[in-house]
Structure 1
Amino acid sequence: MTSTPRTTRWSRALTPVIAAVVLLPLGPPAQAAARPAFQAPFQCGRQIRMESFGHAPALDIFRVPTSATEGEPLIAPAAGRVNQSYSNPSGAGNIIQIDHGGGWFTTYIHLQSRAVGVGAQVAAGTPIGRVGHTGETSNGVSHLHFEMAVDRNGDGRAEWGYPNDERVAPVFNGVTYGQSNNGTWYVTSANCGTRPDGPGLFRPSTKTWYRPGAAMLTGWGEPGDIALAGDWNGDGIDEPGVFRPSTKTWYRVGAAMLTGWGEPGDQPIVGDWNGDGTDEPGVFRPSTKTWYRHGATLLTGWGDEGDIALAGDWNGDGIDEPGVFRPSTKTWYRPGAAMLTGWGEPGDQPIAGDWNGDGTDEPGVFRPSTKTWYRHGAVMAENWGEVGDQPIAGSF
C-alpha cells in the first residue's frame, strides 16, 4: 500500500538495502511493554521477500517465487486479540489488525480472505487469512502490506496506511527490517510453533462446512459421506475431506485422494502416520480389530465392537496414533493406556485436537442434545451445531 506507482516499485524489487536513513521512530514509546517475540506471519520454512519501497518502515511482502504469493496462508506472528477485521474495496481491501498487548500491534492489508473476526483470540501460528490483492491501492499485484506499530497515544489501536509516528520497523525472530526506503530483505520464516485446533462441522442437509462464526465451504459433499479434516498438502492448515463408503473413495476438495479402499463397517480416521507433516486416510475395522493406513497395517488386535475410532498425536512426538472412545464405560484409550475415564455421555460424538497449542492432542466431544462442544475440563463452543451435523476438528 503506497502512493508510489507499482511499475516503479517492481523496477526496484531486487535493489539491495541502501541509505540507512531512518524515516520514522523505530523504538517503542516509554510506556510500551517489552516487544513480543514476533515471527514472520508465514508458515514455518516459507521463503519470503520483503520490500520497503518508499514507505519504510512498512513492508510489502511476497512469496519466493513471487508467483506463489496469491492465496498464501497468513499466520499470527505472536499471540493476541483481533481488534480490526473488515473490507474496504475502494481502499486497502481486506484488513486485519491484531492487538498483541502492551501497546504492540500488527496490521495486514490487501488480503484475499480473512479467517478471524474482531474479538478472536489467536496464538502464535494461528491462521488469520490469505495473501491477495484486494483494494484499489494494491494496484492489482498480490502482496501483503504489513505494518508493526505501537499505540503511542493510548487510544487502543494503531494507525496504519500512511506515515505516522506509531509505525515501527518490524522485528522478526529478533532481526529488524524496514529501517530505510528502497530496501530488500530475503527471510525464511521461523514461525514454527504449534497452532491450536478448534471445532468444525459438516452439515449434509445443506452440503455446508462450518467453523465457529463462518462457513468454510458450501455445496460440497453428499448424503452418506463421512466427514474428515486433515492437512492434505503440508501447508499447516486443515481442510475438509470425506470418505464415501458407497464408492470406497476418499476426497479432498477438488481431488480424489484414494479410490477403491475401505470396506463396509470401517470407521475412517485421519492422521500423520509417518511424521512428514501431511495427513492421510486410515480406518479401524472392528470386525477384525485391525487398524490400517493405505498400504500398511497400523495396529492389530486392539479395539472392540462399539468403540468409536479417532486418531491423534497423544504424546507430542509428531506422529499420530489410533485411539478410541468406549461409550459403554465412558473411557478413552490409546494403545497401551487409558487416557481418560468417566467422561462423555451417550450420544456424544468424539473428536480429537490440540486444543491449547502444546503439541499434543486431547479428546473432545460434540453433544448434539445441547449443541455444546467440550474438551475435558472446559467448554469450547455453545449453542452451535445441529442434530445431524458431523463434527470435525482442525486448524482451519
Structure 2
Amino acid sequence: MPSRRALSVLLAAVIGLFGLTATPAQAAPAFKAPYPCGQQWTYSHHSAEVRLALDFVRSDGGSTAGTPVLASASGTAYRYYQSGGAGNYVVVDHGGGWQTYYFHLAAFSISHGQGVSQGQQLGTTGSTGNSSGAHIHYEQLYNGVGQTIRINGVSLAPYPGSYYQKYLTSDNGCSGQSGKYWVDTFANAPGYASPTSTTQTGTLYAGTNYVFCKVWGREIRDGSGNYNHWWLRTDLDVGPANQYVSAYYLSRWGNDEARDNNGTVIPNC
C-alpha cells in the first residue's frame, strides 16, 4: 500500500495536471466589504472574469463614483496602472499567500508599498481602464489563484449574473474602527478651524467621508427649519486636516443628530 506521503504527492500531481484549485492551506483574513460602513451595494459576476471577481455598484441611493474604496483587511498596499484593463488599481498583500485586488479607481489614496489597516481608504471608486461605468472590481486571491469571495467569513456564492439580485451591506470601519466614522454628506460643506469660528478654512466635498468626533457649537439653520448644533472634526478635501464641518450636512439624520451611516452616535471629541 502506498505511504501517506506518496499519496499526498500523487494528489498534488493530479491537482496540477487538471488545473484544480486546492483548499487554501493558510486561513483567509477576516475580509470585510471594500466600501464604507452602512452602505448597501449590489454585485454581479461576468463569466469572462476568470479569477472569481465580483463587480460592486452602490444600491442605497448614494453615488458609486467617488465613494471611498477600503482595504478589506490589513496588509501592504501597492498601486498600479493598466490603460487597457484594470486602470488605476491597488493590490493589498495580506501575507500567508493572500491578496485582494481593487480595479478602476478614480484616484489613489495611498503610496506604493504603504502599510494599511482594515478599513483604510485605498482610493475612490471610478471607471478608469477598460470599464463602462463606475464600479469596484474586487478579487480575493490565494497564491495567485482567484478564490470565491467571502465577506466576514460568509461566501457570496452562488454569484448572480447581473446587478440587483443580491446585496451586501458593509460593516467595514463601523463604530469608530481606526478612529473613523463614515458619513454621507448631501452637499459640499464649508470647513472651519473650530465649531464657533465663522472664517472658512476649506471644503469637504459632498459624498462619503470620514469624521472623528463631534463638538457642540454654533447653529447652522436653513429657511425650511432644518438645523444642527453639532460639528464634526474631519480632514478637509481642500484645506487643512483636523477641521470642523456642521452635522447639518449629513444626508441621513435630522435636527441636532450626529450619527454615522450605520446609525452609531459619533462620540464627543
* Native 8 Å contact 1:85 1:97 kept in 2: yes
Q: 2:43 aligns with which of 40, 45, 50?
A: 50
C-alpha spacing 1:27/1:250, structure 2 compared with 1 (3 Å): farther
Alpha-carbon distance between aligned partners in 2 of 1:149 and 1:117, rounded to the nearest angstrom: 22
Name the amino acid aligned to 2:268: D
Compare relative contact order (CA 8 Å, sep 6+) and give the higher one, 1 or 2. Answer: 2
- Asked if residue 130 in structure 1 is aligned to residue 79 in structure 2, the reply is no
Alpha-carbon distance between aligned partners in 1 of 2:84 and 2:137, rounded to the nearest angstrom: 16
Q: 1:273 Cα shift?
A: 3.0
Counterpart of 2:232 in structure 1 is 280
* Native 8 Å contact 1:29 1:150 kept in 2: yes
- Asked if residue 70 in structure 1 is aligned to residue 56 in structure 2, the reply is no
Q: 2:149 aligns with which of 159, 170, 187?
A: 170
Counterpart of 1:115 in structure 2 is 109
Name the amino acid aligned to 1:44: C
- Asked if residue 191 in structure 1 is aligned to residue 140 in structure 2, the reply is no
* Native 8 Å contact 1:59 1:178 kept in 2: no
Name the amino acid aligned to 1:145: H
C-alpha spacing 1:178/1:113, structure 2 compared with 1 (3 Å): farther
Q: 1:252 Cα shift?
A: 4.0
Counterpart of 2:28 in structure 1 is 35
Q: How many pairs align? A: 194
- Indicate the percent of aligned positions where both proteins have the same amino acid: 30
C-alpha spacing 1:170/1:121, structure 2 compared with 1 (3 Å): same
Alpha-carbon distance between aligned partners in 2 of 1:40 and 1:110, rounded to the nearest angstrom: 17
C-alpha spacing 1:254/1:123, structure 2 compared with 1 (3 Å): closer
Quote the RMSD (CA, aligned, Å).
3.6
Q: 1:243 Cα shift?
A: 4.0
C-alpha spacing 1:125/1:279, structure 2 compared with 1 (3 Å): farther
Counterpart of 1:16 in structure 2 is none
Q: 1:87 aligns with which of 69, 81, 90?
A: 81
Q: 1:144 aligns with which of 120, 136, 139?
A: 136
Alpha-carbon distance between aligned partners in 2 of 1:113 and 1:240, rounded to the nearest angstrom: 23
Cα deviations by residue, 1:17-75 (Å, 9 ceiling, x for unpaired): xxxxxxx9676433xx2111111011111100010122362111101147611111111
Name the amino acid aligned to 1:129: G
* Native 8 Å contact 2:44 2:159 kept in 1: no
C-alpha spacing 1:27/1:68, structure 2 compared with 1 (3 Å): farther
Counterpart of 2:251 in structure 1 is none
Any stretches of 5+ residues in structure 1 without a counterpart? 1-23, 152-157, 159-165, 198-229, 256-269, 282-292, 295-316, 322-396
Alpha-carbon distance between aligned partners in 2 of 1:123 and 1:92, rounded to the nearest angstrom: 23
Any stretches of 5+ residues in structure 2 without a counterpart? 1-18, 206-211, 217-227, 234-244, 247-264
C-alpha spacing 1:43/1:181, structure 2 compared with 1 (3 Å): closer
Alpha-carbon distance between aligned partners in 2 of 1:50 and 1:100, rounded to the nearest angstrom: 23
Counterpart of 1:163 in structure 2 is none
* Native 8 Å contact 1:49 1:186 kept in 2: yes
Counterpart of 2:250 in structure 1 is none
* Native 8 Å contact 1:126 1:195 kept in 2: no
Alpha-carbon distance between aligned partners in 1 of 2:21 and 2:70, rounded to the nearest angstrom: 24
Q: 1:279 Cα shift?
A: 4.3
Alpha-carbon distance between aligned partners in 1 of 2:97 and 2:167, rounded to the nearest angstrom: 28
C-alpha spacing 1:240/1:129, structure 2 compared with 1 (3 Å): farther
Alpha-carbon distance between aligned partners in 1 of 2:32 and 2:21, rounded to the nearest angstrom: 17
Cα deviations by residue, 1:337-381 (Å, 9 ceiling, x for unpaired): xxxxxxxxxxxxxxxxxxxxxxxxxxxxxxxxxxxxxxxxxxxxx
C-alpha spacing 1:44/1:320, structure 2 compared with 1 (3 Å): same
Alpha-carbon distance between aligned partners in 2 of 1:125 and 1:99, rounded to the nearest angstrom: 15
C-alpha spacing 1:250/1:27, structure 2 compared with 1 (3 Å): farther
Alignment of 1:249-268 (within 5 A): 249-253=199-203
Q: 1:181 Cα shift?
A: 6.3
User: Under a length normalisation based on structure 2, what TM-score does the superposition of the two structures give?
Assistant: 0.61
Counterpart of 1:234 in structure 2 is 183
* Native 8 Å contact 2:80 2:88 kept in 1: yes
Q: 1:320 Cα shift?
A: 2.5
User: Under a length normalisation based on structure 1, what TM-score does the superposition of the two structures give?
Assistant: 0.43
Alpha-carbon distance between aligned partners in 1 of 2:161 and 2:169, rounded to the nearest angstrom: 20
Range that drifts further, 63-72 or 35-44: 63-72
Alpha-carbon distance between aligned partners in 2 of 1:176 and 1:148, rounded to the nearest angstrom: 12
Alpha-carbon distance between aligned partners in 2 of 1:127 and 1:116, rounded to the nearest angstrom: 8
Counterpart of 1:260 in structure 2 is none
**Higher Rg:** 1
Name the amino acid aligned to 2:73: A
